[in-house]
Amino acid sequence: MTRKIEVHFLPELVASESLRGATVVVIDVLRASTTIAQALAAGAKEVVPFRDVDATRRHSESLPRESYVLGGERGGVMIDLFDLGNSPAEYTPESVGGRSVLFTTTNGTKALERCREAYRVLIGAAVNLAAVCESLGETLNIQLLCAGTAGEVTREDVLLAGAIAYQLSRHDEGIELNDSAQIAIAGWRNIVARAVGAGKSVSDHLAAEFRATRGGRNLLQIGHGDDLTLASRIDSLAIVPELDLQNWRIGLP
């Protein structure tokens, strides 16, 4: 079988059945996938993703209060009576260490639902780019799934998909790339070239670019500009969150 990488700019653009048996990387750079990685790096026991707020609350009712925190957002802001929002900086050893994070976000946790038939589901962000690429190793069927925002494509997710696709394909001429993967790679290479041209690190350049993306503009508008800097720190975390499809929880393998 030929090795392939397919990028999907939105969950709506790929049927669940098309992801059957594949290794999927779910990408929501601003901010769900960055925050999930940060929560686990900070020592959370697991991140349990929920599609909606009510289901998150209902699940929590059966658990001892000290065993979990409620995290996530609607409209980018913390949900009423939740413990934490969706800023990666909120997820520290003090706030989540040893506890389950019951987590719901507008687009990121919805994208995970699309992967129920996948073989493996990883969480990808700029902060764990190299670790994700290493974990994908020689995988034959790689699907990079961008979460987008409310059914619209977001450039930050496409750029990260391009970064992963570029890393994996640059020494493998035989690899098959769908058109979206080729578009994403061109976008990422442009970012790297412009960072080099400006004498900046790619992370610094990426933070500046995020300010102009759809997700970035939303966050600036609601006062979460600092998250753009954290989310652009390429390879600051050497971990790969993975969704346990049987038990529907994200942890570190």
Smallest gap, in angstroms, from Cβ of residue 45 to ligand MLT? Answer: 21
> Considering the rule CB under 6 A, would residue 156 count as an interface residue with ligand MLT?
no
Residues 97 to 136 in contact with ligand MLT, rule: CB under 6 A: 105-108
Preceding omega of 114 cis (within 30 degrees of 0): no
> For residues 24 and 1, what is the distance between their CA atoms, to the nearest angstrom?
18
Smallest gap, in angstroms, from Cβ of residue 109 to ligand MLT? Answer: 6
Measured from the Cβ of residue 204, the count of other Cβ atoms closer than 10 Å reads 16
Strand bridging mode 100-104 / 249-251: unpaired
> Considering the rule CB under 6 A, would residue 229 count as an interface residue with ligand MLT?
no
**90, 227 in Cβ contact below 8 A?**
no
Q: By CB under 6 A, name the one of 19, 22, 30, 96 that touches ligand MLT.
A: 30
Q: How many residues bind ligand MLT (CB under 6 A)?
A: 12
- Choices 28-36, 132-140, 177-185, 202-210; region in contact with ligand MLT by CB under 6 A: 28-36
Smallest gap, in angstroms, from Cβ of residue 154 to ligand MLT? Answer: 9
Edge-to-edge strand order for the sheet containing 100-104? 77-78, 68-74, 100-104, 46-49, 249-251, 242-244, 120-124, 23-27, 141-146, 4-8, 176-177
Name which of 28 and 242 has its Cβ closer to ligand MLT. 28
**4, 177 in Cβ contact below 8 A?**
yes
Q: By CB under 6 A, name the one of 14, 27, 32, 115 that touches ligand MLT.
A: 32
Residues 39 to 98 in contact with ligand MLT, rule: CB under 6 A: 73, 76, 86
Kindly list the residues in this chain that would bind ligand MLT in the complex (CB under 6 A). 28, 30-32, 73, 76, 86, 105-108, 147
